Amino acid sequence: MSGQRAAVIGIGQTQLARRLHMSIAEMTRQAARRALDDAGMDWSDIDAVVLGKTPDIFDGHLFPEHFLADALGAVGKPLLRIHTAGSVGGHTAIQAAHLVQAGLFEKVLTVAYAKESEGDINWAVSGGGLPFYSPLVAGPGGYFAPHIRAYMRRSGAPDHIGVKIAYKDRRNAALNPYAHNPDPTITYERIAQSPMLWEPIRYLEACPSSDGACAMVIVSDAHADRGALPPAWILGTACRSEPSTAPRRDTINPVGGREASRAACAQAGITDPQREIDCAEMYVPFSWYEAMWMENMGLADEGYGWRRVEAGDHEIGGAMPINMSGGLMSGNATGATGMIRFAEAAMQVRGQAGEHQVDGAKRALGHAFGGASSYFAVWVVGSERP
């Protein structure tokens, strides 16, 4: 449990795009500057910086914490870098929160980014860039598609569920000002007719590869009212991992994700997530995983995630809105994606999500996962001071 309360009072994002025509320093500084402006702070107000990104092989840039110190106002201040593959944005935000909760710092800037246009993520995660065995030898889609098919068999889900989720997320992305190529004219039929990449994953059921950055300012209780908007109180955080090649591992409903959600909800005093969580932003690179992660996070009974989708519960106006921002269909800057999910959850309880705001959202869950569904980060944020 935390020693003191922590809250998000500043959030900043860059545009998500196939290629951002700016350097990594410019990109991360833009997100950080926007977060500081939202918090009503300047660089000199920050006590420490926590930086996150994906493995260096993804974009070919080594030791970014060195060359970004100046851009992020961290010269002469503690600067910590976090790395946990695709879940890194979530873990980075949680580490920043822990530094505040432990009483080590009062005001922490946390930043995560990816510049995927300068690397080849599919080559990197498929083992081409790794000197050791990678479980993602068929690329991300090739690895996860069999798990989706197994979920369909286990739960009895019909094959149109992935299309329905992608249609909802791409419509939501059209409401998100930071989205990667939003398309307000998207139709269900276009998604259903898009090319099959890895059965059952169609082209428009898969996330794009993006450049982008996200930043947040996390502060102690003493500074929580400094921003112009109400704070998002960090009610619970949890990180869990499991071996990707463990015998009898459940790749459909991983124990690491279940335990991370249970731990974060327990810290937040939540005993029934389906009733007490108002909305969630989850890391869904392929549309089917929205139904799967709803079950993994306790937001649907096991085998019923797809049924909640069929009922429309996952829509912004539904009983359990998921990925109101469009989720990863609005862009996947892998190193920043987890933090964007956490930030979007915080935006909901602060009432600053604009056109994709859920009315009356008081408690939201942010979720990130990485590797072969082997790293998990979860936080629960709320509008009321704990």
| pLDDT for residue 133 | 44
| pLDDT for residue 127 | 59
Hey, is 14 helix, strand or coil? coil
Break the chain into its structural domains and give their ranges.
Answer: 6-121+209-223
The CATH fold of domain 6-121+209-223: Peroxisomal Thiolase; Chain A, domain 1 (3.40.47)
| pLDDT for residue 152 | 98
Torsion angle of C-alpha atoms 209, 27, 20, 121, degrees rounded to 10 = -30
Q: For residue 189, count CB atoms less than 10 angstroms from its CB and return exposed for 0-12, middle for 13-18, buried for 19 or more.
A: exposed
Q: Which two tokens stand for residue 93?
A: 């935000």
Determine the Cα–Cα distance for residues 349 and 345; give it in Å rounded to an integer: 7
Contact 373/145 with Cβ under 8 angstroms?
no
What's the average pLDDT block by block, 10 residues per block, for the chain (386 residues)? 86 97 96 98 98 84 89 96 91 98 98 88 61 58 94 98 98 98 97 96 96 98 95 98 90 97 98 98 98 98 98 98 98 96 98 98 97 94 96
Distant-in-sequence contacts of 63-68, Cβ < 8 A, 24+ apart: 64/24, 67/24, 67/25, 68/24, 68/25, 68/28
